[in-house]
Amino acid sequence: MTEFLQPGQLLARGVSRHLLSYDFVSVEEFVPERGRRVDVMAMGPKGEIWVVECKSSLADFQSDSKWEGYLPWCDRFFWAVDAVFPVEVLPDDTGLILADAYGAEIIRMGPEGKLPPARRKSLSLKFARDAARRLHRMRDPRP
Amino acid sequence: MTEFLQPGQLLARGVSRHLLSYDFVSVEEFVPERGRRVDVMAMGPKGEIWVVECKSSLADFQSDSKWEGYLPWCDRFFWAVDAVFPVEVLPDDTGLILADAYGAEIIRMGPEGKLPPARRKSLSLKFARDAARRLHRMRDPRP
C-alpha cells in the first residue's frame, strides 16, 4: 500500500520498523493533546517515550514552527529525514534519524529530558488506549 | 470474517464492542504473564483494567480450572456467556456479561479488587506495547 502514503508517512513507516530493533513500539500520527500531532510516538520496554518528527523536505521542516512544543511530550526527540535532506539545518541538540520507506538508522541519539511522572502516566494511558482503539477498529471494522 | 472465529472469539467480539460504550478499549487474547492468556483485557479511561473470560458452553466453563488465577490481574473480573448458558453455575461474586457475536450487556458488575500499583504499572505497560505492536503488524504487514 506504499502508493497511498505521503512522503512523510513513508519515512514514518521506515522509522517504526527500525525502532522495533530498539524494542520500541510505535503509534503514528499520535495526538498527545488537542491541536498537536506527532508523526511517530514510540514506547520502550520500560515505558520510555520517544517522539520522531518526519520531514520529507527542507520546506517541510521550515514550515514547522511548532516543533519545540513536542519536547515536553517525550523523553527523547528525533528528526527523521531522507538521505538528500540538508541535515546541517537541524538543531544540534536534537536526535537525528536517516530514514526511507523501508528502514532507518539512528545517527544521533536525542538528549534525554525525562517526562514528569504525572505527564508520563497520562501520556502512557493515552498511548495504550489509542493503540487498542485503533487495533480494535482494524480487527473488527464495522460500517 | 465471522466464519473464521471460534464460538468463544465471537463472544469476545461482542464483548469488545459493548465495552466501548463504557469507554473501555480491549485487547483480545492478552497474555499478562507467561502461561496465562485472558480472552479480553480492557482498559478504562482512568486506566482501570477489566478481564472478561468468554465461555461458549458449560463444558468450556467446567474445563477451566485456572479462572481464579485471573483475579490478581484485574480490577474487575467478568464471565461472558451466551443466552443459553446455565448462568447459575457461575460464582456469585464475579461479574456477568450476556453476549453474542454482535454485542453484549453487563448483567452483574464484577466486584472491585484494586490492582497493586506496581502490577498495574507493569500490566498497563504490557497492554500498551502489545496493542501498539499488533497494530503495527496490521498496518505494515511484511513477509
Q: What pLDDT is recorded for position A2? A: 53
- Find all residues with CB under 8 Å of B134, minimum gap 6, and list them: A135, B27
* A17, A131, A142 member nearest B128 (Cβ): A131
CB count within 10 Å of CB A91 equals 10
pLDDT in tens, A96-111: 999 999 999 999 999 9
Q: What pLDDT is recorded for position B66? A: 83
Quote the mean pLDDT of chain A.
94
- Predicted ipTM of the assembly: 0.94
User: Of the ranges A63-67, A81-85, B120-124, B134-138, which one carries the lowest mean pLDDT score?
Assistant: A63-67
Output the CA torsion sign for B42, B43, B45, B46.
positive
Planar angle of CA A44, A49, A55, nearest 5 degrees? 110
Q: What pLDDT is recorded for position A143? A: 64
Contact of A125 with A107, CB cutoff 8 Å:
no
Planar angle of CA B101, B7, B55, nearest 5 degrees? 95
* Nearest chain B residue to A1, by CA: B140
C-alpha distance from B104 to closest chain A C-alpha (Å): 15
Cα distances (Å, whole numbers) of residue B88 to B56, B58, B70, B126: 15, 11, 20, 34
Contact of B52 with B40, CB cutoff 8 Å:
yes
- Find all residues with CB under 8 Å of A114, minimum gap 6, and list them: A75
In order along its 143 residues, chain B shows pLDDT tens digits of 456 889 999 999 999 999 999 999 999 999 999 999 999 999 999 999 999 999 999 999 999 888 889 999 999 999 999 999 999 999 999 999 999 999 999 999 999 999 999 999 999 999 999 999 999 999 999 86
Half-sphere exposure of A49 (CA within 13 A, CB side): 28
Radius of gyration for the alpha carbons in chain B, expressed in angstroms and rounded: 15
Q: Among all chains, which residue has been given the C-alpha cell 521542516? A: A61
The pTM score is 0.95
> Taking the domains of chain A in order of start, what are their residue ranges?
2-139
Residue numbers in A near B30 (CB within 8 A): none
Please enumerate residues of B whose Cβ is less than 8 A from a Cβ of A: 13, 16-17, 20, 25-28, 43, 45-47, 121, 124-125, 127-129, 131-136, 138-140, 142
Three-class DSSP category at A134: helix
The alpha-helical segments, DSSP class H, found in B20-92 are 58-62
Strand order in the sheet with B49-55: B25-33, B36-43, B49-55, B76-81, B95-99, B104-108
| Percent of chain A clearing pLDDT 70 (strictly above) | 97
Say which residue, B2 or A70, is predicted with more confidence: A70
Radius of gyration for the alpha carbons in chain A, expressed in angstroms and rounded: 15
Residue numbers in B near A27 (CB within 8 A): 132, 135
Q: Is the pLDDT of residue A34 over 60?
A: yes
Q: What pLDDT is recorded for position B23? A: 98
Please give the Cα distance from B51 to B40 (Å, whole number). 6
Say which residue, A23 or B142, is predicted with more confidence: A23
Q: What pLDDT is recorded for position B4? A: 84
Contact of A74 with A51, CB cutoff 8 Å:
yes
